[in-house]
Amino acid sequence: MAWMIAYYSEDVRLEIDTLPTGIRASYARLTNLLEEFGLDLRMPHSRAMGGGLFELRPKGREGIARVFYCMKVGRKIIILHSFIKKTNETPKRELDLAHQRQKEVMTK
């Protein structure tokens, strides 16, 4: 049984739609893998960030992005937040926003 992907909000979906073309193509391939493998998707495609938060790692010739997601009961994946990565470290504010949204999703 495949996993189902949903978005935290329409704004998050639109944010991903505005990623550069190459990164968006990589994201589309990664979400196909995510729907197929779910929790079993690992590096280099996905990485556990701790506390049930994960990141997809799309990249294109324009650069790299990170897309945070979490899992819910019923084989549901919630895309929480995305951003273009400009430094080696994930900025704390990006991670904090993903964690905040994850808490909201898990209490619904």
Q: Considering the entire predicted model, what is its pTM?
A: 0.94
pLDDT in tens, 6-20: 999 999 999 999 999
CA-CA distance, 52 to 59, in Å (whole number)? 23
pLDDT of residue 74: 86
pLDDT of residue 73: 85
96 pLDDT above the threshold of 80? yes
pLDDT in tens, 75-90: 999 999 999 999 898 8
Residues 9-41 as b/e (b if ≥16 CB within 10 A, e otherwise) read eeebeebbeebeeebbebbeebbeebeeebeeb
The domains found in the chain, sorted by start residue, are 4-107 (3.30.2310.20)
The pair of structure tokens assigned to 93 is 């504010």
Compute CA 101 distance to the chain's CA centroid, rounded to the nearest angstrom: 12
**Dmax (CA) of the chain:** 38
CA-CA distance, 2 to 44, in Å (whole number)? 21
